[in-house]
Each structure stands twice: as C-alpha cells, then as structure tokens.
Amino acid sequence: MNTNPKLINPVVLFVLTIVLGMWLTSLGKPYHNLLFSAHKLVSVAAVIVTWLVVRRLIQQGNVTSTAIVLIAIAVLAVLALFITGALLSIEVGSYQLLKTVHVVATILSVLSVPAVIYYLLKLK
C-alpha cells in the first residue's frame, strides 16, 4: 500500500500533540501557559484534520459495522481526552484519576484512530 500524503498531516499533528502533552506534564504544575495553549490548539487541529481525512474515506468506500465500532471508540477516546484535559487544567476532581483516564484515553486514541484510517483505506 502506498503512503497517502494526506495521512501525513494527521500523523504529524497527533505526534506533536502527544509530545507537547508529555513535555507539559514533565514541567509540572502550574502549567506553562504558552506550552499549554500550543498543546490545546494542536490537539484541536489534529482532530479536525483527522476528521476531514476520515470523512473523505467514508465517502469513498462502504462503511461496515466494524468501521462504525472503530470510529465510535476513536470518538469516545478523543472526547475523554478533551474532557479530562479540561478538568486537569482547571484542577477539578481527583488529579491522579483524571491523569490516569487521560493516559488511557491517549493510548486508546493512538490505537483506534490509525485503525480507523487503515480499515477505511482497505475498504476503498
């Protein structure tokens, strides 16, 4: 399978989001405002660009129940990331629990988002 150049942008943004998040965590609280803002903006851009790629792939192929399940898992993981990230930033709730959920959601998204794209590419 040839590498689709349109897949490079979501991958780069996704990796950059994770790197910025790890850097942010390593600096500890209080969060560095510029780095925190960059992490949030890059994560939103990653979601938008990824959705554009996934939407195009959905329009080009037959969507199966497996694809729908993978998309649902990816969406739930990303929602969990946004919610826990927001709660961590405003210091509401158990920090350790929120951080654990944020890490698990990161792992789920790292696994599910590429799985969605790969599966949809196979259906094309």
pTM: 0.81
Tell me the H-state helices in the chain. Answer: 8-27, 33-60, 65-89, 95-123
**3-state DSSP assignment of residue 91:** coil
The per-residue pLDDT for range 74-105, each reduced to its tens digit, is 999 999 999 999 998 888 888 899 999 999 99
The per-residue pLDDT for range 19-59, each reduced to its tens digit, is 999 999 899 888 889 999 999 999 999 999 988 988 888 88
